[in-house]
Amino acid sequence: MSDFTFLYRGRETNLSPEQMQRTMEKWSAWFKELSAKGHIRDIGQPLEHTGKVIAGKQKTIIDGPFAEAKDVVGGFTLVEAIDLDEAVELSKGCPILEIGGSVEVRPIQKSTM
Amino acid sequence: MDLSEHLFRREAGRMVSTLTRIFGPQNLALAEDVVQDAFCRAVEVWKFRGVPDNPSAWLMTAAKNRALDVLRRERTARTYEPELNRLLQSEWTLASTLQERFSEHAIKDDQLRMMFSCCHPRLSEEAQVALILHILCGFSVREIASAFVSGHAAIEKRITRAKKVFVKSDLFDVSETDNVAQRLPAVHRALYLLFNEGYHGASPEMAVRRELCREAMRLMSLFLRDPLQAMPATHALAALMCLHAARMPGRLDAAGNLSSFNDQDRSKWDRGLVVEGLRLLELSATGSELTEYHVEAAIASIHATAPRPEDTDWGRIVSLYDALTSLRPSPIVALNRAIAIAQRDGPEAGLETIRTTIDNERLAGYPFYHATLGELELRCGRCDVAREHFEASLVLARNPTERQFFEQRIAACTASGRTPMEANETQ
């Protein structure tokens, strides 16, 4: 088994309240399914959409991240899967895809090769 | 914990009402943004941490905090109510005022205030209903358009225009008894139309229609709690809604097809709602005012309490339709009166009433006008004429359920045509 991070990008902004609730219910169902199959190592955390970016030797502090709403990471989950292929398969059920968002699947580097 | 059905939609109405009270009607769009933001947050946080024990309170707190942010940040950028401007001077008064404005009691008042405000005299009845659905019931433009089988663009235009009137007006003052009495009929009418759209409307989805009825009843219940608003007409309208809603489960047969009134399975009617409807009808019988809601509720109560179709007191129903005709004449009332006369005096009398009292041009586009003619002709044994009427109604059918119903009636004409003896026996 290997560990992966799912990074969720995109925000459910232009939905009606009813659609928002549906979306919420889909997320619960999806996490429940992943969890039942033993794929969730850590369900993760939601992230605020704005914060600060500290950059360079000057330690310049700017408001950030500067990105389109659809590109901002809104949360992450630690997932366990056999390999990248399986992790990708699992990510396909993510409700964020339905609203035009994306899931970035990144293998977590192992300490020994 | 699971979310109760339509929780977000309902909370949207409560939150927008309260936030509009805080920000002022001119900042309706801001209130809507704050609500949208609260929902976004809820989805983002709850999907990771689960739904909180009290999701409504969570959402309200999120909206309140966001409102505080906005008020602090845009203290001078916007115009608020004069009263609020004063409070904005001090952080302490601001926070405690908002706390009070988000109390359960205040939120209920805000919804009532919003309902009256949506029924602005400068808006058409259709626009008032659309605005109520949008602001108080949390339906999006698309959802309203689909419930009303209307074009998205048309509904959008209607709501945009209505909002323009709304933001330029003051919020309605519900503590002014005279004002309340003056605008109450418009509010009743809007809720009546909303309920009717669910009960008789064209939407093919039963779930959607049931939801519209439920919304009308939910808003209605806000009035019943308030002695100042609960006039006899209010009770009569609430009674009418209960007595109709009670019969809703019987309107479809086991296969999900529309059943004609006499064939309905009366055991499926909701007894609890019938009892509640009769209680409200009794409460409505005070004062001197007799409204169309009183009469319609009385008609509905006769239907709802008849154990079998043949137990119906059609004589009383006819006289109630006479009363309704003088209170609020309409082609549909005239048609229903003719049906009641047919039940009391036979199909020929019904047809004669239709011929003499109904302007058929005004009902020519209504599928059930032709279906009624078909039904009465069929009972007179004139199967070919009946079939023509049902064919006319089939062309006008507004959804698959209606289509199927009229097709089944056409088939009945053909069957009766073959065995005239049997048809006569069922009279």
| Stretch B263-285: mean pLDDT | 92
Closest partner residue to A74 (CB to CB) among B39, B42, B44 is B44
A112 occurs within a structural domain: no
Residue type, A87: A
Question: Has residue B103 got a pLDDT over 90?
Answer: no
Q: What is the mean pLDDT of residues B150-174?
A: 91
Cα B196 to Cα B248: distance, rounded to the nearest angstrom: 12
Residue B263 has pLDDT above 70, yes or no: yes
ipTM metric? 0.91
DSSP B135: I
In a domain, A51, yes or no: yes
Q: What is the pLDDT of residue B422?
A: 43
User: Around Cβ B203, how many Cβ atoms within 10 Å?
Assistant: 20
Cβ pair B36:A11 closer than 8 A = no
Residue A9, domain member (yes or no)? yes
Asked whether residue B427 carries a pLDDT value surpassing 80, the answer given is no
pLDDT at B280: 95
pLDDT in tens, B58-97: 999 999 899 888 888 877 667 776 667 776 677 777 777 7
Contact check, Cβ <8 Å, B8/A17: yes
Q: Is A47 in contact with A74 (CB distance < 8 Å)?
A: yes
3-state class of B362 per DSSP? helix
Q: Quick one: which H or E segment has residue A2?
A: strand A2-9
Check residue A84 and give its pLDDT.
96
Does B138 contact A24 at a Cβ distance shorter than 8 Å?
no
Give the Cα separation of B385 and B377 in Å (integer): 7
CA distance B38 to B162: 25
Asked, for residue A101, whether it belongs to a domain, the answer is yes
Spatial distance between the Cα atoms of B173 and B183, rounded to a whole number of angstroms? 11
Residue A84 belongs to domain with CATH number:
3.30.70.1060
Which DSSP state fits B258?
B
pLDDT band for B423, please (50, 70, 90 cuts): very low
Adjacent-strand bridge partners of A81:
A2
d(CA B345, CA B340): 9
Residue A50 sits at the chain B interface (C-beta within 8 Å): no
Whether the CB-CB separation of B105 and B177 falls below 8 Å is answered with no
Question: Does residue A73 belong to any structural domain of this protein?
Answer: yes
Rounded to a whole number, what is the distance in Å from the CA of A26 to chain B's nearest CA? 9
Residue B392 has pLDDT above 80, yes or no: yes
Q: From CA B105, how far away is CA B43, in angstroms rounded?
A: 27
**Spatial separation of the C-alpha atoms in residues B32 and B17, rounded to whole Å:** 10
Nearest partner of B111 among B217, B20, B25, B26, judged by Cα:
B20
Tokens of B142: 């698309």
Q: Is the pLDDT of residue B163 over 80?
A: yes
Tens of pLDDT along A9-68? 988 778 999 999 999 999 999 999 999 999 999 999 999 888 999 999 999 998 877 777
The number of domains in chain A is: 1
Average pLDDT, chain B: 88
Distance in angstroms (rounded) separating the CA atoms of residues B230 and A55? 64
Hey, are the CB atoms on A13 and B143 less than 8 Å from each other?
no
Cα of first residue to Cα of last residue in chain A, in angstroms, is 14
In a domain, A12, yes or no: yes
The three-class DSSP label of residue B54 is coil
Interface test with A, best of B34, B44, B134 (most A CBs within 10 A): B44
Residues 6+ apart with CB under 8 A from A10: A69, A70, A74, A96, A99, A100, A101, A102
Q: Are B59 and B11 in contact (CB under 8 A)?
A: yes
**What single string gives the DSSP state of each residue in A61-95?**
EEEE--S-GGGSEEEEEEEEESSHHHHHHHHTT-G
Identify whether the C-beta of residue A79 lies closer than 8 Å to the C-beta of residue A3: yes
Q: Are B400 and B369 in contact (CB under 8 A)?
A: no
Residue B119 to residue B130: CA distance in whole angstroms:
10
What's at B391, amino acid-wise?
A: E
In a domain, A113, yes or no: no
* pLDDT tops 80 at residue B425: no
Q: Is residue A69 part of a domain?
A: yes
Q: Domain range for residue A100? A: 2-107
Is A40 in a helix, a strand, or coil? strand
Comparing CA positions, the residue from B71, B46, B70 lying closest to residue B56 is B46
CA gap A107, A6 in Å, rounded: 9
Interface of B with A (CB under 8 A): 3, 6-9, 11-12, 36, 39-40, 42-51, 138-140, 142-143
Q: Which two tokens stand for residue B315?
A: 């004589």
More confident residue, B255 or A24: A24
Q: At what angle do helices B331-345 and B314-327 cross, to 10 degrees?
A: 160
